[in-house]
Amino acid sequence: MNLDNKKALIIGIASNRSIATEIAKVLSANGAQLLLTYQGEKLKNRVEEIANEINQNIECFPCDLSSDKNIDDLAAFTKKKWGSLDIIIHSAAFAPRELLSGDFVDNINRDGFNIAHEISSYSFTALAKSFKGILNTSSSLITLSYLGSEKVIPNYNVMGLAKASLESNVRYMANSLGSNNIRVNAISAGPVKTLASAGISGFNEILKHVEAKSALKRNITLNEIANVALFLSSDLSSGITGQTIYVDSGYNINGF
């Protein structure tokens, strides 16, 4: 698959094992030029090291998705650097940790609900809004979701609502941007060990359950997610928009 001359913005690298890191490697290996973002000064060095490992001249730029100013500054930087953009990978989510365990109703609060939806869903729309003016025709926007959006997963709690919002967001964004030939899709990934899942109570049980019960009888790899991101980024998927595509060993087909 060929992404030569395509320029990709990748948001959500927090470590070597991030989904966004593997997507960056795979898109770069297929010819794309990359711009990576880091969430704050704490992550700057780590993201720059990852950028250097992939390719010596990849630039990194700060972006906290809770800030409209940060998003607009990122769009202005992208415009100055490249003039236009072809691919946005949105691989970021956040809910306050104390909401990701225990009883959903007991632990929910207004702030936590708002933060989860703002960072995990609205930020994708905000990026589209801010970058719309520099997105090339036939651009592809991709976000990451999880089965907890449509089925109850213990402890996923408010993130389930936020991912439901994100997947609906994908449909409305696809409809809105379709006339500019901009495509918008989500990848619903099976559970993978990353910083985002580290320390989540019951996460290892979820991994074991998928291994035992999924159609493929194993967990997925980061590379399998990244390969679908490559497909959705490329013109091979030119007829696909507004979709949530499962990369989950088939786990989502199960009823029991």
Residues in contact with ligand 0WE by CB under 6 A are: 93-95, 97, 100, 146, 153, 155-156, 159, 191, 196-197, 200, 203, 206
Count of other CB atoms within 10 angstroms of residue 98: 10
Residue 196: exposure state from Cβ atoms within 10 A (0-12, 13-18, ≥19): buried
Residues in the chain, overall count: 256
Q: Residues near 156 by Cβ (< 8 Å), separated by ≥ 6?
A: 100, 146, 148
Minimum separation from the CB atom of position 94 to ligand 0WE (A): 4
36 in helix, strand or coil? strand
Instruction: Classify strands 183-189 and 7-11 as parallel, antiparallel or unpaired.
Output: unpaired
Residue 200 or 240 with smaller CB distance to ligand 0WE? 200
Residue 28 or 112 with smaller CB distance to ligand 0WE? 112
Question: How far apart are the C-alpha atoms of 124 and 145, rounded to whole Å?
Answer: 12
Residue 29 or 153 with smaller CB distance to ligand 0WE? 153
Residue 82 or 203 with smaller CB distance to ligand 0WE? 203
Minimum separation from the CB atom of position 39 to ligand 0WE (A): 12
Minimum separation from the CB atom of position 179 to ligand 0WE (A): 31
Minimum separation from the CB atom of position 58 to ligand 0WE (A): 25
Which ranges constitute the DSSP H helices of 92-202?
104-107, 110-117, 123-131, 158-177
Enzyme catalytic residues: 146, 156
Q: Is residue 59 a contact partner of residue 51, using CB atoms and an 8 Å limit?
A: yes
Looking at beta carbons, which residue is closest to ligand 0WE?
A: 97
Q: Is residue 86 a contact partner of residue 136, using CB atoms and an 8 Å limit?
A: yes
Minimum separation from the CB atom of position 203 to ligand 0WE (A): 6
Token reading at 199: 């320390």
| 3, 15, 16, 20 from 194: Cα distances, Å | 27, 8, 9, 11
